[in-house]
Amino acid sequence: MSEEISLNELLEDQNIDEKIKELSFEDGLKLLEELVEKVESGSLSLDKAVLSYEKGVALINRLRELLSGAEEKLKILNK
- pLDDT tens for 42-70 read 999 999 999 999 999 999 999 999 999 99
Residue 75 half-sphere exposure, CB side, CA atoms within 13 Å?
A: 6
What pTM, to 2 d.p., does this model score? 0.85
Tell me whether residue 6 is in a domain.
no
Number of domains in the chain: 1
Tell me whether residue 3 is in a domain.
no
Tell me whether residue 35 is in a domain.
yes
* Per-residue pLDDT, 70: 95
